[in-house]
Structure 1
């Protein structure tokens, strides 16, 4: 399997052959989502979503200040999150035991939103990284079907949440990569035009290519438009991010519909500027993930000891349409004259080679996390008025 195909499969953008689909094994037994062990995160307990989100804010002059964070257990809306491809479990689908990779990803992509919403994050039997590695090596996964087990698990978790926890509360759906692909199916089949749509505050789908009709704000979802303002509700935000210095190459599957339908285009909604245009990105970047050295944020400065940093003014983003791709173009406002770092990590790297077709997929969510918190806060105010 090529790196391009691997990237697309990992991101939930494509499945394997129709012949392989026909060879898929029977679905395993259903999970009981009434069992709290089947959830990564639930309100009111100390779990993966209660991790420390303390941040060091680094100004351009190198000055560091500490930013505290607390969740809101009484938040008036809920967040329902589906995580990306992270499982290192053996086999094609993961088990239902949270490993360090699942715990790490909710810390990176989700916890901070706990200041605005109650968090629900189900475990699900996702397509694993292990299976992708086997496919690259030409093993059994190369000819096996991509199971639908993960999607069916998330449907069961969603229905359990609706029956036992929602109680007519507004809900924000959040996903990244494979998680966004699963949520796209869920929204299209279970929410769009259905009674549950009235509960939708918004859907936030990072690291994906959501098709809409060209020039329109609907397409895959018939009655759920793209978000155009921070106070709008019942809408969808979707994007895939690339450096302005490394735009999407011809072999990427991000930034355009997976079936290359000429009547459709991929959504790009910049969480920092939903109405369009360029804006500073309120990023929260991990200090010990994605290869960023905790000691390298400020030249000659103290080592950063918080799990996250924020770098005001360093990053700017805009949704652009270039060469047939729609994507979030990220510019690093480097200034060699100041002591703060002039670059960030986040590229997918094979050895020493940057995989340009992935873009900044690893940090799609981190790049705009502060903006997402702001948007969910504004949407909540609108939701409560209704």
Structure 2
């Protein structure tokens, strides 16, 4: 089960999780006595349009043609960065730890949330995320503690979204985006606030990546079938061609899977030449033709990604690159769906 979240907070395929976040930690000043998030305070947002943060970053090759828009909002829920096996803060992360905050901001916020910064304003809450070990409890007591940890984490995400709606949204269309543990929570959030609700008309699309989305999870929201469909969901989990881990083989359903090169939910194949570029070895370096994409009964397959240094990348589980192997494709598709939503108008 651990394989499902292998290095889930590590976005660089080659570099993996480094200890380089210490150099950023000094910029954060938190009160050690405050751990309950107050989402009217910008300190409790990893990304927010009212402050400069790593989600505003643009890979160097894309800067010349960067044309930002602010008419749509993106609510991004980050994956697990609290991966310490010793669980120094207990089952849920501390919001006052500067090193963990730096790790979050300069991994997932920089390398994933930045995908969405051209189409709209990016909001990403800090939350008391569950420790990575919550996904694979080893005892009944651990199972109870893990469920409680996920409940607390979701309560924070929900509180952040309510604050966002009440204070910042002002009727704008919304994109929901998430990865890994973020998707564990976004599945619930989209179901609670959008699925069959009035707010569904404001949903441009939901990119729920890295965690399986059951085919019957939503009542009204359907998987996206075309590149410009709106109000729908997209999801994929990436593995090496021909590989399915045991936990996938044990699933009694075929999870929703979208091809992030063709943007179809049918059985499709896209060769690596169709991949315009991924961000896999450094934020300012775009690797073209890095990965192919083939849907395969609830998962996404690609042959081994091609980039300098990939000889050291030996895993068959490409969870770390779910977004970044297809960085430019996702970036362009978000823009395509946003433009389609605007042309269609609000239902």
Same fold (TM over 0.5): yes
Residue in 1 aligned with 2:177? 174
Change beyond 3 A, Cα 1:118–1:69 = farther
1: CA distance, partners of 2:311 / 2:78: 23
Compared with structure 1, are the counterparts of its residues 342 and 134 closer, same or farther at alpha carbon in structure 2 (3 Å cutoff)? closer
> Paired residue for 2:46?
40
Q: Which residue of 2 aligns with 1:319?
A: 295
2:196 to 170, 174, 193: 193
Q: 1:344 to 1:167 in 2, by over 3 A?
A: farther
Residue 91 of structure 1 pairs with residue 93 of structure 2: no
Q: In angstroms, what is the RMSD of aligned CA positions?
A: 3.1
Give the structure 1 partner of residue 302 of structure 2. Answer: 330
**Equivalences for residues 98-137 of structure 1 within 5 A:** 99-103=101-105, 104-129=107-132, 131=133
Structure 1 residues 169 and 68, CA gap change in structure 2 (3 angstroms) = same
**1:268 positional shift:** 0.6
Structure 2 CA distance, aligned partners of 1:379 and 1:234? 9
Among 241, 247, 257, the residue aligned to 2:243: 247
Aligned pair count reads 304
Alignment gaps of 5+ in structure 2: 9-33
Describe the SS at the equivalent of 2:285: strand
Asked if the contact 2:205–2:230 (Cα under 8 Å) also holds between the matched residues in 1, the reply is yes
Q: What secondary structure does 1:265 align onto? A: coil
Shift in alpha-carbon separation, 1:278–1:199, aligned structure 2, 3 A: same
For the residues of structure 1 that align with 2:165 and 2:2, how far apart are their CA atoms?
Answer: 36
The two structures have a TM-score, normalised by structure 2, of 0.78
Query: Is residue 328 of structure 2 the alignment partner of residue 375 of structure 1?
Result: no
Q: Does the aligned pair in 1 maintain the 2:213–2:255 contact within 8 Å?
A: yes
Radius of gyration: which is bigger?
1
Q: How far apart are the structure 2 equivalents of 1:84 and 1:197?
A: 24
Cα distance in structure 1, aligned partners of 2:38 and 2:305: 49
- Provide the residue aligned with 2:320 in structure 1: 362
User: What is the TM-score with the length of structure 1 in the denominator?
Assistant: 0.70
SS of structure 2 residue aligned to 1:208: coil
1:211 and 1:267 in contact (8 A); partners too: yes
Unaligned 5+ runs, structure 1: 12-27, 55-65, 213-218, 289-306, 335-339, 348-353
Name the structure where helix makes up a greater proportion of residues. 2
Q: Would the aligned equivalents of 2:79 and 2:182 in 1 still touch at CA under 8 Å?
A: yes
2: distance between equivalents of 1:272 and 1:227? Answer: 13
Distance in 2 (CA, whole Å) between partners of 1:134 and 1:270 is 28
Q: What residue is the counterpart of 2:25 in the other structure?
A: none
Cα distance change on mapping 1:225 and 1:344 into 2, 3 Å = farther
Name the stretch that deviates more: 264-273 or 119-128: 264-273
Say whether 1:238 aligns with 2:235: yes
